[in-house]
Structure 1
Amino acid sequence: MFENLSSIWRKGDGRKVGHGMEPAPFGSLDEILGINMRNALIAKYNPRSAIERARDKVAAKVALEAAGIACTGTIAVIDDHQKLNAFKPLRDMPDAWAIKPARGSQGDGIVLSVRREGDTWYKGSGSPLTETDVMHHIQKVVDGGFSGDTVSEDAALIEPLIIADPTLADLVPEGLPDLRVICLHDEPIMAMLRLPTNASDGKANLHQRAIGAGVDLVTGQITRALVRGEVITHHPDTGTKLIGYQVPGWDRVLELAGKCGPAIGLGYSGSDIVLDKNDGPLIIEVNAHPGIEIQNICQLGLKAQMARLGEDFK
């Protein structure tokens, strides 16, 4: 049985990071999870059927909601041309929404509307979207234009636009921050907050110069923040101090993250969570192949955290 990692940290083992303290550096390379070891963990704990379920945002949401896990809402799922032909955006879509390819990755193919004026929607950038624009994009999604694999067709998942928790929204100039929580089975082992910047065009994508901020698993406070490997203490656009920031609803965040892997059938997973103004923490996606860059951001080794839970890497 795995011991609760939060309990281990509270006991104190020389690795706990307190408020306002620089995280301790890696003790040794033996603490770090490399890509080959990560892939071995995925092969060990993540069955192919569960990986496919996680990759399909629609199938994943069905599994999560069946387990009683709070997810972002659903306006429509368009997975064939019959549904596409019957869909009328001006009739069926609200003023603010998100269109996502069910099998897309890294934000490819996602389109957001923040408001509507008359028969026209507007992106956060101010660019207009007509009903024809929306239909053309949905058709491209359904035709597999963003699926990134050999699948010939995909599904367009249309969701209400998330309104970020006001305290979190104050950290960023625009865009929607999100959290990534890595779990082994039902136990959270590492977490980071991803914060959009002007340079990232309002997207919480680390490769596009969004901020990666390590979050202390026990306190829910930011301990360290980086942009493309450069350590920072304040948001470069808003000037808001990041170190010591308390993530709202932290206990709920960990509770949700710990339920996601088992609900989908994954033993090793990365849950992506947004903090909605009205509904609090919501799951937006569960990743069956979470990256290992989080270790550089948190200055902790995933291998060491899993070893403390009893994982045997031999």
Structure 2
Amino acid sequence: MFFWKTWKALQAQGVMGINRRNADYVLKYNKRHLYPVVDDKILTKERAIAAGINVPEMYGIIDTEKDIDKFDSIVAPYSDFVVKPAQGAGGDGILVIADRYEGRYRTVSGKIISHEEIEHHISSILSGLYSLGGHRDRVLIEYRVTPDEIFKSISYEGVPDIRIICLMGYPVMGMLRLPTRQSGGKANLHQGAIGVGVDLATGLTLKGTWLNNIINKHPDTTNPVEGVQLPDWNGFMTLAASCYELSGLGYIGVDLVLDQDKGPLILELNARPGLNIQIANDTGLTARCHLVEHHLAALKKAGKTETVDERVAFSQLHFGAQLNAEPSDTQPSPEPA
């Protein structure tokens, strides 16, 4: 009974649960036949490249055991690179090589591994060890992102990333994910990374959540995670909003990174984004999604649509953290003139 009353109270505050996410958003806005576009990182990258959207450069693809022989020629021009499963999830199976060392390879954590160990890892990926559903997979070899210097004081190894949830191309909530020692340098909340809310209007970080507790400082660096200005925030918002046209999916999580040389890049898309982002932002998704739906209904009635820039402007106007009150989930936005 206590749990039920607590959950009803959270719902009243606009907190979205898994059932509502699945029924009202994932199933409603994401056509099943389009899932392969986001579940396969290679397909996502190929579509993004064709659309002129910035992604980490793709060095090569290994499709079969026989193709493992191509590995040497694919990575020959590069001293650092990333090996990842095309259909992996949660960061599993990703191998990040930072340098070469006397015929061997050095990972970002400093571990030295042999050529044979990498080939064995590639074989494991191909067998489906890390893929969704355990199906046979492909191997993607790509550019290794070097995090922007701004993350140096608030992250432990690895690459921090930014998750922006979008509804029909309108960003509704954002979160910075910071690797920790506990997460093994991975930006995965379930493995111990930190989630930090982000003000959609300004790109300024808010308080963080770590292991479901609200925190103000990174546990490894002890530096504050709140009040950090993310560079080129409008670039991140524009990239995230443009993924609606890229994927055709209406409710998605867009994962982006900030490379010190190349700027904002799209890492991958997720058709079933998690809900911990609400804890990091200390607010619920439901009211924000309802406001977007009301706005879309008004646009449809007026026979209008909005561009990527207009969608970003709408989100920054309505979902900035500086707003004292949450947007109403019943009051529609004004009809377009």
Same fold (TM over 0.5): yes
Relative to structure 1, the CA distance from residue 90 to residue 119 in structure 2 (aligned partners, 3 Å threshold; closer, same or farther) is farther
Deviates more, 1:115-124 or 1:180-189: 115-124
Q: Distance in 2 between the 1:163 and 1:131 partners? A: 23
Aligned residue among 121, 143, 150 for 1:167 = 150
Instruction: Kindly indicate whether the alpha-carbon contact (under 8 Å) linking 1:261 and 1:286 is maintained by their aligned counterparts in 2.
Output: no
Q: Distance in 1 between the 2:46 and 2:58 partners? A: 11
Corresponding residue for residue 52 of structure 1 = 36
Aligned residue among 179, 188, 193 for 1:205 = 188
Instruction: Kindly indicate whether the alpha-carbon contact (under 8 Å) linking 2:75 and 2:81 is maintained by their aligned counterparts in 1.
Output: no
Aligned residue among 102, 109, 119 for 1:118 = 102
Q: Distance in 2 between the 1:294 and 1:100 partners? A: 25
Corresponding residue for residue 37 of structure 1 = 20
Q: Which amino acid aligns with 1:169?
A: K
Instruction: Kindly indicate whether the alpha-carbon contact (under 8 Å) linking 2:209 and 2:279 is maintained by their aligned counterparts in 1.
Output: no
Q: Distance in 1 between the 2:95 and 2:214 partners? A: 31
Corresponding residue for residue 262 of structure 1 = 245
Aligned residue among 202, 215, 218 for 1:219 = 202
Corresponding residue for residue 6 of structure 1 = none
Aligned residue among 240, 259, 273 for 2:256 = 273
Q: Is residue 2:165 matched to residue 1:182?
A: yes
Aligned residue among 245, 253, 270 for 1:287 = 270
Relative to structure 1, the CA distance from residue 93 to residue 249 in structure 2 (aligned partners, 3 Å threshold; closer, same or farther) is same
Instruction: Kindly indicate whether the alpha-carbon contact (under 8 Å) linking 2:156 and 2:178 is maintained by their aligned counterparts in 1.
Output: no
Structure 1 residue 82, shift from structure 2 partner: 3.5
Aligned residue among 77, 93, 104 for 2:61 = 77
Structure 1 residue 205, shift from structure 2 partner: 1.2
Q: Distance in 2 between the 1:155 and 1:142 partners? A: 6
Structure 1 residue 216, shift from structure 2 partner: 0.6
Structure 1 residue 27, shift from structure 2 partner: 8.4
SS of alignment partner, residue 39 of structure 1? helix
Q: Which amino acid aligns with 2:42?
A: V
Relative to structure 1, the CA distance from residue 27 to residue 244 in structure 2 (aligned partners, 3 Å threshold; closer, same or farther) is farther
Corresponding residue for residue 325 of structure 2 = none
List alignment gaps of at least 5 residues for structure 2: 1-8, 298-328, 331-337
Structure 1 residue 142, shift from structure 2 partner: 1.6
Instruction: Kindly indicate whether the alpha-carbon contact (under 8 Å) linking 2:109 and 2:157 is maintained by their aligned counterparts in 1.
Output: no
Q: Which amino acid aligns with 1:75?
A: Y
SS of alignment partner, residue 293 of structure 2? coil
SS of alignment partner, residue 309 of structure 1? helix
Corresponding residue for residue 235 of structure 1 = 218
Q: Which amino acid aligns with 2:95?
A: V
Corresponding residue for residue 46 of structure 2 = 62
Higher helix share: 2
Instruction: Kindly indicate whether the alpha-carbon contact (under 8 Å) linking 2:205 and 2:228 is maintained by their aligned counterparts in 1.
Output: yes
Q: Is residue 2:106 matched to residue 1:98?
A: no
Structure 1 residue 253, shift from structure 2 partner: 0.4
Task: Provide TM-score, normalisation by structure 2.
Answer: 0.81
Q: Distance in 2 between the 1:27 and 1:132 partners? A: 52
Structure 1 residue 58, shift from structure 2 partner: 0.4
SS of alignment partner, residue 194 of structure 1? strand
Superimposed CA distance per residue, residues 141-178 of structure 1 (whole angstroms, 9 cap, x where no aligned partner): 12222113152x21100112110001123321311100
Relative to structure 1, the CA distance from residue 239 to residue 284 in structure 2 (aligned partners, 3 Å threshold; closer, same or farther) is same
Relative to structure 1, the CA distance from residue 91 to residue 28 in structure 2 (aligned partners, 3 Å threshold; closer, same or farther) is closer
Q: Distance in 2 between the 1:61 and 1:221 partners? A: 28
Q: Distance in 2 between the 1:76 and 1:222 partners? A: 35
Superimposed CA distance per residue, residues 21-45 of structure 1 (whole angstroms, 9 cap, x where no aligned partner): xxxxx98625122211111211111
Deviates more, 1:110-119 or 1:83-92: 83-92
Structure 1 residue 60, shift from structure 2 partner: 1.0
Q: Distance in 2 between the 1:290 and 1:91 partners? A: 32
Q: What is the identity percentage for the equivalent residue pairs of Structure 1 and Structure 2?
A: 38
Corresponding residue for residue 137 of structure 1 = 121
Q: Distance in 2 between the 1:56 and 1:298 partners? A: 29
Relative to structure 1, the CA distance from residue 30 to residue 92 in structure 2 (aligned partners, 3 Å threshold; closer, same or farther) is same
Q: Which amino acid aligns with 2:108?
A: G
Task: Provide TM-score, normalisation by structure 1.
Answer: 0.86
Give RMSD over aligned pairs: 2.0
Q: Distance in 2 between the 1:133 and 1:81 partners? A: 14
Deviates more, 1:88-97 or 1:212-221: 88-97
Instruction: Kindly indicate whether the alpha-carbon contact (under 8 Å) linking 1:55 and 1:287 is maintained by their aligned counterparts in 2.
Output: yes
Structure 1 residue 80, shift from structure 2 partner: 2.0
Instruction: Kindly indicate whether the alpha-carbon contact (under 8 Å) linking 1:169 and 1:176 is maintained by their aligned counterparts in 2.
Output: no
